Amino acid sequence: MRKRSLKKQPAKTQGPTDESVDGAGIGALAAQLASYLPPDQVERVRGAYAVGAHAHASQRRKSGEPYITHPVAVAMILAGLRLDAETIIAAILHDTLEDTGMTRVQLEASFGPVVTELVDGVTKLDRVDFASRLEADAESFRKMLLAMARDLRVILIKLADRLHNMRTLSAMLPDARRRIARETLEIYAPIAARLGMNAVKAELQDLGFRSLYPDRYKVIASRIKRTLGNRRESMAKIERALAERLAADGIPVRIVSRIKSPYSIWSKMKGEHKTFDQLMDVYGFRLVTDTVAHCYQALGSAHSLFKPVEGRFKDFIAIPKANGYQSLHTVLFGPFGAPIEIQIRTEEMDTVAERGVAAHWSYKQDASPSNSAQARARAWVAGLADSQAETPSSLEFIENVKVDLFPDEVYLFTPAGDIQSLPKSATALDFAFAVHTDVGMHAVAARIDGKLASLRAQPVSGQTVEVITAPSAAPNPQWLDFAVTGKARAAIRHYLKHLQHEDAIDFGHRMLESALDAGGSSLDAIAPEVLDRYLADNNLRRLEDLLSDIALGNRMPDQVAEKLIATGGSVIGTAQHRPEKIRISGAERGILSFGNCCHPVPGDDIVGYLSPGKGIVVHRVECPNVFELSKQPERRVAIGWDSEVQGDYRVELRVEVVNRPGVLATVSAAIAEANSNIDDVKYIERGIEAATLIFAIEVKHRKHIADVIRRIRNTKVVNGVYRYPL
């Protein structure tokens, strides 16, 4: 594939009606900063503005406005979160390394190493050549997350950058709008949620929804406005009743009515299969008080005023969400036939709920490490850093991150009482890896609330999970079928790839030796300098990399052997002969796969064909596809079964049966009696008198198939049974 540079064009989105480069923009920013920063730091920000305005002087946004309006707007968003001067300076300069001639050396000389690292953290890798935009975006995202692991302020700048770009997206072409909006909904809004920044998350979601589905957005927004207009009087009565009861009980409170956004309505309509009227037929209020004690007292007051709905109370104060969110949630039977959703929290909790990791940034060192959004966020990004180290592919890494960004969570307890927060569909295996990677690597089963369960089991919130381990246990490929979290999947893949690499080296060695033997030589006969020259010419660091490449089908063993012999390898004998078959035991599953077209099993006559990146694909000699594959003789590998083989092998049987009740159970019982498991069964023909089924079963070898077929025939309900395909 021809690589192309993905250098970003500076004029990337439309500008808003922000103040332009004449200085009014920095004036408004300076005024905002003066409310919480000392004068000397505000002057540093002014200096950064002068440098940024000069660097971007010749650049314009898609709307035609001076480009500097964008970084100033990003800085304004961060100033609204009351972030420190270094973050504000980095925001103003965040595009200089990427879009201007300014260098890291110049930036560090003027503003120091911290600002330089923050700017570099949000700088994309567009100056590097990538095969596709998708690959470039994934690698840039990975780079940003690694920088975020060093300093959380990197992601705060990036979120503010994305928020302003989403606010000003209308100048982009439709395809670009949809791509950016989808990325915002899939990546950046969930990251904001994971960091507890609900205000940023909600705006990113609504802006993304409006750009991706403009018609749906207009319809839902219009209906929300109309519904709220009709219910204004009812909401005022409920709010008044709550205020009077809380005042009578001596609880200071600020009451805020909660209005669902178009995106939240749309996502719940889609995810919960509810109608618009069902979702809007709810009154929502937030009660904000001064202390935790008053939160629980306010809950009692609300329950005494309106009856609570059973099973709808959640205490996120005692057990905070993974992003540090704390609040009491309850649902009440309302006076107008519609439920009332109540959230109760302190002012401090409300600030953290809206701003997340950005709340009280100046005082982050004083926050309680066991309960702060910042401490939880740092633990999360540290986990991401560990995960990426075991995930070579950036595209695979970003998929793992997406899984961990799912908003729904379950809260599980260890036997010691510690809490683990996991995605809703997480299994006992995910829990094991969440406790510790070593626990996951050696897990064999679990006890959920004291009852024995498999690693596939999905615990629910509040359950206690104990992981049973064994020193000899190790991950297997089937774990990837039910592992959910990025941490678990990355660790399992890393282990399996390590095994695959070891298998590939061994198998590649056998393949190269076989090819050299056919040419009258051997690997030991190749002079070390000849081998070293070949490795250097092919950008290979060591012999093991060459052998692995051969086994994985990326290099043809015959061609490698021919080249090594031609460039000075010793020839032991002049007679060339057919290479002996390479024997396989079935344990080489990391580099061997078995053709779904013919399902070979031990005992079959087989042949292998090299497939780039996959290794050897094994086919039965009589497979219909072998004729087509034989047109590429250089990819053919002479293989045969070892005297001892391992594992179970999938095979399909075509069973023609009498169509009467109970026949499926009869055939299934016969298969079970032959000690074979059924993977799948399906009808392919069904008439009044007869039917044809395909059974996918697991067998040990060819004799095992014969035993299964004999037992099926003995049931007297079949007209014929054959291996499929024939």
Domains of the chain and any CATH numbers: 4-172 (1.10.3210.10), 215-359 (3.30.460.10), 408-480 (3.10.20.30), 493-641 (no CATH), 649-724 (3.30.70.260)
Biggest CA-to-CA distance, the chain: 105
Q: Which of 18, 86, 99, 652 is catalytic?
A: 99
**Distance from C-alpha of 135 to C-alpha of 137, rounded to nearest angstrom:** 6
- 340 near 334, Cβ under 8 Å? yes
Say which of 18, 98, 117, 503 is annotated catalytic.
98
For residue 474, CA distances in Å to 239, 478, 486, 489 come to 58, 12, 18, 14
Percentage of the chain surpassing pLDDT 70? 84
Q: Shortest CA distance to 143 belongs to which of 428, 398, 515? A: 398
Whether 685 sits among the annotated catalytic residues: the reply is: no
Tell me how far apart the alpha carbons of residues 408 and 424 are, in angstroms, rounded to a whole number: 5
What is the spatial distance between Cα 482 and Cα 403, in angstroms, rounded to a whole number? 13
Q: What is residue 294's DSSP assignment? A: H
Number of helices followed by number of strands (H, E) in the chain: 27, 22
pLDDT band at 382 (very low <50, low <70, confident <90, very high): low
pLDDT tens-digit series, residues 650-707: 899 999 998 888 888 999 999 999 999 888 888 888 778 888 999 989 899 999 999 9
Highest mean pLDDT among 61-65, 415-419, 618-622: 618-622
pLDDT over 80 at 392, yes or no: no
Q: Backbone phi, then psi, for 425, in 5-degree steps?
A: -95, 15
CA angle 158, 131, 172 (to 5 degrees): 45
Q: Which stretches within 262-372 are classed as H helix? A: 262-272, 276-280, 292-305, 347-355
Per-residue DSSP letters for 644-713?
A: S--S-EEEEEEEEEE--TTHHHHHHHHHHHTT-EEEEEEEEEE-SSEEEEEEEEEESSHHHHHHHHHHHH
235 pLDDT band (50/70/90 cuts)? Answer: confident
Active-site annotation holds for 545? no
What is the tens place of the pLDDT at every residue in 556-601?
888 888 888 887 655 555 445 556 788 888 777 667 888 888 999 9
| C-alpha distances in Å from residue 570, one per residue of 378, 524, 525, 544 | 58, 9, 5, 21
pLDDT at residue 145, rounded to an integer: 67
Pick 496 or 622 by higher pLDDT.
622
Crossing angle of the two packed helices 543-551 and 486-518, in degrees rounded to 10: 90
pTM, two decimal places: 0.58
Q: What is the mean pLDDT of the chain?
A: 82
Extract the tokens encoding 599: 């399902």
- pLDDT-based confidence at residue 62 (cuts at 50, 70, 90): confident
Tell whether the model's pLDDT for residue 644 goes beyond 50: yes
Placement of tokens 């995605």 in the chain: 423
pLDDT on residue 385: 62
pLDDT tens track for 197-229? 888 999 999 999 999 999 999 998 888 888 877
Report residue 578 CA to chain centroid gap: 48
Half-sphere exposure of 636 (CA within 13 A, CB side): 18
**Is 125 exposed, middle or buried, given 0-12, 13-18 or 19+ CB atoms closer than 10 A?**
buried
